[in-house]
């Protein structure tokens, strides 16, 4: 699956870059100080990667050796840009995902244990309002409140996780064997860890990959508006500067992380079984 | 208040906002781009119900026109995405075999791609200095063309269930042709599913457009949309001095919540 995503995603990226308007045109050709031979050499270097398959072949060969090409806008190797910027985004995304999961699980469990009209209404209202906020607005509010980037990512992720977790847990607690366990006076913690969590763990593990995808998606507006120099801000700047090779490599990177997280979740789930 | 009453209220609110957006030209006191240069950042008054922005444009007029752009084009994009999902998912579920495998693999691959990254990439292919109307068309067409994979899975599963149902078996046994089965039996039973998917997609597209426009990659000024109206929130001093600048945000939250509260009714019918 990972290899298929790599190859297909790479081909799509290569097609987009190869057929984008302005491909193969280098503004250096307009430099009056260059001789005709130099201009011709620049043109020849572009012609070498002329066709889509040839371009894709060169891209794949380079990628095997860690060379993802150069950013047209920053005139720097893309791999070094990713190396510089990715750790910050990865840290923010992982912290954001962890915080969102922790808060969503705690509130969902509190909702199950202390059922009540006001609790239900207030949590539904909170998640409803948060889910209706675009990620960019959350970013602006986090700038107002001077909150770290990972908190903003957690705020974007929390309502989606909370609604899903609450429904899952409510459904699990309605199962006849859990009602029977409650009737027998088995403690809440034992019911939770021995009966409910094993039942909902496949759905929870499936959510992990989705959480990461949402977190990295939210990182674009949040990092752009919070001025955090991560991959999300880089993708936004690349889009504004029409730097397609850079943005396509970043898209491919995030896709691989999402697919990798999904596969890891599947492996963990299979081992648990 | 019971759920039905709540849904009716939400439907009425949405209808009112939708009608106001539809007749923006009549309801709005001024054109959206008209500047009152002597009154920039004016407070709400009888002449400017929500005041003016830093360029002296009437915020109420811009909000109404922005509502038209966001609320009329998001359903159009949702319709496009649902149509794609319906055609591909229905075909995959009904025909099966290698077609099904190819379409599902394409959907899985598309779902693995982060939507916002792909939208940025595709938006970057287009020139940034296009006309405002073209920017609206480009934004919502991209949303429609990229929003189909999750709906496809649902439509495919529903079609597969229907394909194995008794009434379709009976129809086949009585010699019904494929086209008649699709038109008379399959499509009417898929309609609630398609409608639910269409309804789910609208708030998603409204929010995505808002994020794209706030990043300067969606609807381009001077044409207003909820997204580029929300860009006014970036100026914290203006917002704290003029809290009515939050009106587009309040309207956006209200609309998305209304869509969500109506949604269970659609899911039940589906």
What is the pTM (predicted TM-score) of this model? 0.84
Q: What is the mean pLDDT of chain B?
A: 86
Rounded mean pLDDT, A220-241? 89
pLDDT digits (tens, 9 = 90+) for A120-163: 888 888 998 999 999 999 999 999 898 999 999 999 999 999 98
Report the pLDDT value the prediction gives residue B105, as an integer from 0 to 100: 83
Please give the C-alpha separations between residue A75 and each of A24, A228, A232, A234, A246, in angstroms, as whole numbers: 15, 21, 19, 14, 10
Rounded mean pLDDT, B203-232? 87
When CB atoms are compared, the residue of A128, A144, A220 closest to B120 is A220
Report the pLDDT value the prediction gives residue A16, as an integer from 0 to 100: 67
Using CB atoms and an 8 Å cut-off, which of residues 169-188 of chain B contact chain A? none
Rounded mean pLDDT, A165-170? 88
Report the pLDDT value the prediction gives residue B2, as an integer from 0 to 100: 75
Q: For residues B71 and B266, which has the higher predicted lDDT (pLDDT)? A: B71
Q: Shortest CA distance to A4 belongs to which of B122, B113, B148, B152?
A: B113
> How far is Cα B146 from Cα B151, in angstroms, rounded to an integer?
11
Structure tokens, B108: 């899985």
Q: pLDDT-derived band of residue A183, with 50, 70 and 90 as boundaries?
A: confident
Closest-CA distance, A16 to chain B, in angstroms, reads 8
Q: Note whether A132 contacts B118, CB cutoff 8 Å.
A: no
Closest-CA distance, A193 to chain B, in angstroms, reads 31
10 Å CB burial of residue B41 (0-12, 13-18, 19+) is middle
Closest-CA distance, B62 to chain A, in angstroms, reads 19
CA dihedral B181, B182, B185, B189 (to 10 degrees): 160
Q: Note whether A217 contacts B114, CB cutoff 8 Å.
A: yes
Residues of A within 8 A of B211 (CB-CB) are: 134-136, 221
Report the pLDDT value the prediction gives residue B221, as an integer from 0 to 100: 81
Q: Which residues of A98-123 are buried (b: 16+ CB within 10 A; e: fewer)?
A: ebbbebbeebbbebbeeeeeeeeeeb
DSSP string covering A77-107 = BHHHHHHHHHHHHHHHHHHHHHHHHHHHHHH
Q: Note whether A137 contacts B256, CB cutoff 8 Å.
A: no
- Which of B70, B117, B267 has the most A C-beta neighbours within 10 Å, making it the best mutation to test the interface with A? B117
C-alpha atoms less than 13 angstroms from C-alpha of B179 in its C-beta half-sphere: 0
Using CB atoms and an 8 Å cut-off, which of residues 103-142 of chain B contact chain A? 105, 109, 112-118, 120-125, 127-128
Residues of B within 8 A of A259 (CB-CB) are: 112
Report the pLDDT value the prediction gives residue A261, as an integer from 0 to 100: 80
Please give the C-alpha separations between residue B78 and each of B84, B194, B203, in angstroms, as whole numbers: 10, 11, 9
Q: Note whether B118 contacts A238, CB cutoff 8 Å.
A: no
- CA-based angle A241:A247:A253, to the nearest 5? 160
Q: Note whether A242 contacts B124, CB cutoff 8 Å.
A: yes
- Which of A16, A132, A143, A207 has the most B C-beta neighbours within 10 Å, making it the best mutation to test the interface with B? A132
> How far is Cα B77 from Cα B179, in angstroms, rounded to an integer?
27
Q: Note whether A132 contacts B234, CB cutoff 8 Å.
A: no
When CB atoms are compared, the residue of A9, A221, A250 closest to B214 is A221
Q: Is A240 on the interface with B (CB under 8 A)?
A: yes
Q: For residues A172 and A62, which has the higher predicted lDDT (pLDDT)? A: A172
- Lowest model confidence (mean pLDDT) among A93-97, B19-23, B187-191, B231-235: B231-235
What are residue B57's phi and psi, to 5 degrees? -90, 145
- Please list, in sequence order, all residues whose beta carbon lies within 8 angstroms of the beta carbon of residue A136, skipping any fewer than 6 positions away: A221, A222, A225, B210, B211, B214, B215, B230
Q: Note whether A128 contacts B230, CB cutoff 8 Å.
A: no
The residues that bridge with B35 in the sheet, in sequence order, are B57
Please provide the size of chain B in residues: 270
Structure tokens, B30: 């001024």
Residue B268 has pLDDT above 60, yes or no: no
- Please list, in sequence order, all residues whose beta carbon lies within 8 angstroms of the beta carbon of residue B254, skipping any fewer than 6 positions away: B13, B17
Closest-CA distance, B234 to chain A, in angstroms, reads 6
When CB atoms are compared, the residue of A132, A244, A251 closest to B114 is A251
When CB atoms are compared, the residue of A129, A132, A236 closest to B120 is A236
Report the pLDDT value the prediction gives residue A27, as an integer from 0 to 100: 65
Rounded mean pLDDT, A216-229? 90
When CB atoms are compared, the residue of B211, B236, B257 closest to A128 is B257
Residue A260 has pLDDT above 50, yes or no: yes
For residues A224 and A236, the answer to whether their CB atoms sit within 8 Å is: yes
When CB atoms are compared, the residue of A133, A140, A235 closest to B120 is A235
- Please list, in sequence order, all residues whose beta carbon lies within 8 angstroms of the beta carbon of residue B72, skipping any fewer than 6 positions away: B21, B22
Report the pLDDT value the prediction gives residue A21, as an integer from 0 to 100: 62
Complex-level ipTM: 0.83
Q: Is B207 on the interface with A (CB under 8 A)?
A: yes
Handedness of CA B63, B65, B68, B73 (dihedral sign): negative
> How far is Cα A3 from Cα A19, in angstroms, rounded to an integer?
24
Q: Is A245 on the interface with B (CB under 8 A)?
A: no
Q: Is A135 on the interface with B (CB under 8 A)?
A: yes
Residues of B within 8 A of A221 (CB-CB) are: 116, 211, 214-215
Residues of A within 8 A of B232 (CB-CB) are: none
pLDDT digits (tens, 9 = 90+) for A22-65: 666 666 667 777 777 777 777 666 665 566 677 777 777 777 77
Report the pLDDT value the prediction gives residue B270, as an integer from 0 to 100: 43
Q: Note whether B207 contacts A134, CB cutoff 8 Å.
A: yes
Report helix, strand or coil for B58.
strand
Report the pLDDT value the prediction gives residue B149, as an integer from 0 to 100: 86
> How far is Cα A59 from Cα A17, in angstroms, rounded to an integer?
11
What are residue B178's phi and psi, to 5 degrees? -60, -45
Residues of B within 8 A of A242 (CB-CB) are: 124-125, 128
When CB atoms are compared, the residue of B121, B207, B230 closest to A16 is B121
């Amino acid at each position: 699956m990972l290899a298929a995503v790599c190859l297909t995603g790479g081909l799509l990226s290569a097609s987009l870059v190869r057929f984008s308007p302005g491909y193969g045109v280098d503004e250096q050709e307009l430099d009056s100080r260059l001789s005709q031979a130099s201009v011709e050499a620049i043109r020849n270097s572009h012609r070498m990667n002329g066709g889509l398959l040839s371009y894709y072949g060169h891209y794949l060969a380079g990628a095997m050796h860690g060379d993802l090409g150069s950013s047209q806008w920053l005139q720097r190797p893309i791999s070094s840009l990713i190396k510089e910027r990715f750790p910050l985004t990865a840290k923010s995304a992982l912290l954001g995902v962890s915080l969102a999961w922790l808060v969503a699980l705690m509130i969902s469990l509190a909702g199950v244990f202390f059922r009540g009209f006001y609790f239900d209404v207030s949590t539904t209202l909170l998640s409803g309002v948060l889910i209706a906020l675009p990620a960019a607005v959350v970013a602006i509010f986090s700038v107002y409140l001077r909150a770290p980037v990972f908190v903003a990512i957690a705020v974007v992720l929390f309502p989606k996780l909370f609604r899903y977790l609450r429904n899952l847990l409510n459904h699990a607690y309605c199962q006849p064997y859990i009602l029977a366990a409650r009737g027998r006076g088995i403690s809440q913690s034992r019911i939770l860890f021995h009966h409910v969590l094993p039942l909902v763990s496949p759905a929870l593990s499936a959510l992990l990959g989705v959480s990461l995808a949402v977190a990295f998606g939210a990182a674009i507006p949040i990092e752009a508006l919070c001025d955090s120099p991560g991959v999300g801000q880089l993708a936004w700047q690349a889009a504004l500067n029409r730097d397609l090779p850079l943005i396509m490599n970043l898209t491919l990177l995030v896709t691989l992380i999402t697919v990798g997280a999904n596969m890891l979740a599947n492996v963990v789930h299979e081992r648990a079984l | 208040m019971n759920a039905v009453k709540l849904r009716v209220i939400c439907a009425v609110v949405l209808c009112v906002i939708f009608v106001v957006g539809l007749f923006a030209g009549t309801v709005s006191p001024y054109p959206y781009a008209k500047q009152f240069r002597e009154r920039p950042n004016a407070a709400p008054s009888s002449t400017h119900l929500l005041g003016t922005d830093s360029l002296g444009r009437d915020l109420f007029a811009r909000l109404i026109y922005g509502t038209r752009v966001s609320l009329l084009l998001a359903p159009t994009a949702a319709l496009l995405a649902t149509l794609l999902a319906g055609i591909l998912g229905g075909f995959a579920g009904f025909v099966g075999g290698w077609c099904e495998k190819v379409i599902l693999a394409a959907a899985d691959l598309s779902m693995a791609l982060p939507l916002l990254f792909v939208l940025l990439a595709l938006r970057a292919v287009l020139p940034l200095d296009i006309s405002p109307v073209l920017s609206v068309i480009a934004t919502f067409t991209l949303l429609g063309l990229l929003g189909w994979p999750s709906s496809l899975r649902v439509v495919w599963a529903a079609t597969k269930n229907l394909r194995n149902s008794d009434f379709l078996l009976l129809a086949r046994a009585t010699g019904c042709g494929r086209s008649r089965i699709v038109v008379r039996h399959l499509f009417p039973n898929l309609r609630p599913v398609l409608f639910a998917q269409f309804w789910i997609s609208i708030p998603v597209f409204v929010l995505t457009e808002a994020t794209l426009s706030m990043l300067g990659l969606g609807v381009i000024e001077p044409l207003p949309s909820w997204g580029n109206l929300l860009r006014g929130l970036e100026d914290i001093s203006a917002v704290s001095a003029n809290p009515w600048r939050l009106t587009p945000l309040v309207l956006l939250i209200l609309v998305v919540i209304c869509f969500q509260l109506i949604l269970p009714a659609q899911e039940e019918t589906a």
